[in-house]
Amino acid sequence: MTIVHGVPLSPFVRKVILVLEAKGVEYTVNPVTPMNKPEGFEKISPLGKIPAIEDDMVTLADSSVICEYLDQRYPENSIYPEGLVERTQARWLEEYADTAVIGVAGPIFFERIVRTKMMGQEADEARVQKVISEELPKVYGYLNEQLGDTGFLIGDNLTTADFAVGTNLINAMYAGVDVDATRWPKLAAYKDRLFATELFRNRMAKDKAMMGA
């Protein structure tokens, strides 16, 4: 059985869990957070970050590396498109999500959810507003430009790009920041299509149960 070290509310951990669930791979979660790393965690995750996984073949860290391993080990429902250009574009958008989309969703989620609900502190709302007004428009604008009127980020099947972008859109939404359909109509419609898939619906239901919502 695959062990996922990390909490599913972390966007990187959720990305890996979505891939496991898309492929029907059984897993258990060891709920390590950045604040409660067990001693010796660096042996599993040398950079000390979540997620990391362990199974009968590997101990691996980094969500993108883990997703690539999972896809090669469990090739059914591949998370990478077939064509070279499409595949490369999916990997690029995954990287964009893991750097830029987390760069806006991360601080918003941290301030409004982690800091208030998990650390018992006040949110730095000025920081949130600055991210929303100065940084988010560029990122959501870029995503909006990548999208068509149907399907997902690359074609009609879910790819690694959708898992990486979607997991961040989920956290922004949990923190009260939805996609403004008047400014980014394609992104808003895409988010609705993505969140309506059985995979995303089930995952968000599990998040809600965990958050006691």
Q: Are 58 and 69 in contact (CB under 8 A)?
A: yes
Least separation in angstroms between CB 6 and ligand GSH: 7
Binding mask 110-149 for ligand GSH (x = CB under 6 A): ----------------------------------------
> 């920041």: which residue's tokens?
177
Applying CB under 6 A, the span of 60-68, 110-118, 150-158, 203-211 interacting with ligand GSH comes to 60-68
Q: Check residue 14 for interaction with ligand GSH (CB under 6 A).
A: no
In the chain, the largest separation of any two C-alpha atoms, in whole Å, equals 49
| Number of chain positions touching ligand GSH (CB under 6 A) | 11
Beta strands in the chain (DSSP E): 2-5, 27-30, 52-54, 59-61
Question: Which residue in the set 2, 8, 12, 143 belongs to the binding site for ligand GSH (CB under 6 A)?
Answer: 12
Q: Kindly give, in sequence order, each residue whose CB lies less than 8 Å from that of residue 191, ignoring residues fewer than 6 positions away.
A: 166, 169, 179
Q: Residue numbers of the site for ligand GSH (CB under 6 A)? A: 10, 12, 34, 48-51, 62-64, 98
